[in-house]
Chain A
Amino acid sequence: MPKTDAKRFTVLDLLDLNLNEQNALNLRCIGGRKGLSREITVPDLNRPGLALSGFYESFAWQRLQIFGRGENAYLKMLAESSDVETYEKLFSYPIPCCIFTHNLAPSKEFFDAAERGDCPILQTDLSSSEFSSRVLRVLLDIFAPQTTIHGVLVEVYGIGILLTGDSGVGKSETALELIERGHRLVADDVVDIRCVNGSILMGQGANKVIGHHMEIRGLGIINITHLFGVGAIRDKKQIQLVCGLEEWDSNKVYDRIGTEEMTTEILGVRIPKLEIPVKPGRNIPIIIETAAMNERLKKMGYHSAKEFNQNVLRWLESENARALYFNRDDFL
């Protein structure tokens, strides 16, 4: 169930981002404050070299404009020849903001033109390449397609498994036993999924404040971190397998061999899916653990069910050949 209208991300939000040391952007606003409410609509950067030289065809004005050492030197040259027209043309486009790297600052004419155009001017002490890679990472994460799913996300033997199924089928109880056996809880009930890089699905709890709690019928709401310790929880995990728990339906055909690779689609990414029938007395956690180990094996290139089938075929062939060989005695 995707969000219908994405929340607006403004230049002010970019300044306010709280990132740790290796990801920090070190941005300060040095001018054009009226434009801080301008929205950033695409997770992309542009070095406006061509535009500054007067070529505005295909000018990517929706992107963040980065002014590095080269652009700054050109601006200086323009300032010396008092070429203000280029600045005016630049600010006639609704660019989100101008970012000066290496702690460089523009000339007064540029400043004034920006203030007139209500365009924010930001500054960072990072180099252009370092800033570019950090800001792209952050923006791609913010603009990633996102959805919320009802299920439980656990990490079993390093594999991120999303347990889905109707209410009451036993997802939370299965997760609780998995935690007791040493695996980790990522999110219970409301799983927030983001598609990063178009092929990786990252799952996490929807709400950091009330995350890592579980609701167990008969017990109520329990705090997993307090009960099992910090080793039993995880904040984010890539979803690599979906296990759909359902009440055993005697009319339904369940996969008995395991060579059929059933998949499901979340945010445009295909994820392997297993359908696990639930019946009183069946040990579901051990099935999930085995599924996780099998998934690890498949990733390493060993597909047990397929190998089994190939061995059976080979054995049948050899049985056939032996039968033919022995039958020839009858003819002689």
Chain B
Amino acid sequence: MTEAIVTISNRAGIHARPAALIVQTASKFASKIWLEKDSDRINAKSIMGIITLGASFGTPIRIMAEGTDEADAAAALEALFDSKFEED
């Protein structure tokens, strides 16, 4: 299990477009990937789940990946969050 903690740096938080980008990135990997906010854990390959998480600006999110390519998956998602989802 590989874990990484990121903070939302987008002004608008995770709305539909960033959520779609997260799903597209996560779906490329075979591992199971979860995003956790406070005590809510959702499947990162499901767009409805990511939107329901309600992650706004400044929220810390824990990325958890488990599987054969867990390290690559966690790194790719971390890079996506850090790049502010190509907004701003």
Binding site for B on A (CB under 8 A): 1, 3-5, 148, 150, 167-168, 188-190, 206-207, 210, 213-215, 221
Indicate if B43 sits at the interface (CB-CB under 8 A): yes
- The interface stretch among B47-55, B68-76, B79-87 is B47-55
A190 to B49 CA separation, bound complex (whole angstroms): 6
Contact A215 B42 (CB under 8 A): no
Contact A167 B27 (CB under 8 A): yes
Contact (A213, B48) CB under 8 Å given A167-B27, A168-B27: yes
Of A3, A188, A189, which is in contact with the most chain B CB atoms at under 10 Å from its CB? A189
Select which of B16, B40, B45, B52 is within 8 A of A3 by beta carbon: B40
Residues in A neighbouring B45, C-beta threshold 8 A: 167-168
Interface residues of B in 9-42 (CB under 8 A from A): 16, 27, 34, 39-42
Contact A150 B39 (CB under 8 A): no
A214 to B45 CA separation, bound complex (whole angstroms): 14
Residues in B neighbouring A1, C-beta threshold 8 A: 34, 41
Contact B42 A188 (CB under 8 A): no
Contact (A215, B46) CB under 8 Å given A190-B52, A206-B52: yes
A214 to B49 CA separation, bound complex (whole angstroms): 11
Of A3, A148, A210, which is in contact with the most chain B CB atoms at under 10 Å from its CB? A148
Contact (A210, B51) CB under 8 Å given A150-B46, A167-B27, A168-B27: yes
A210 to B49 CA separation, bound complex (whole angstroms): 10
Contact A148 B48 (CB under 8 A): no
Residues in B neighbouring A168, C-beta threshold 8 A: 27, 45
Contact B46 A189 (CB under 8 A): yes
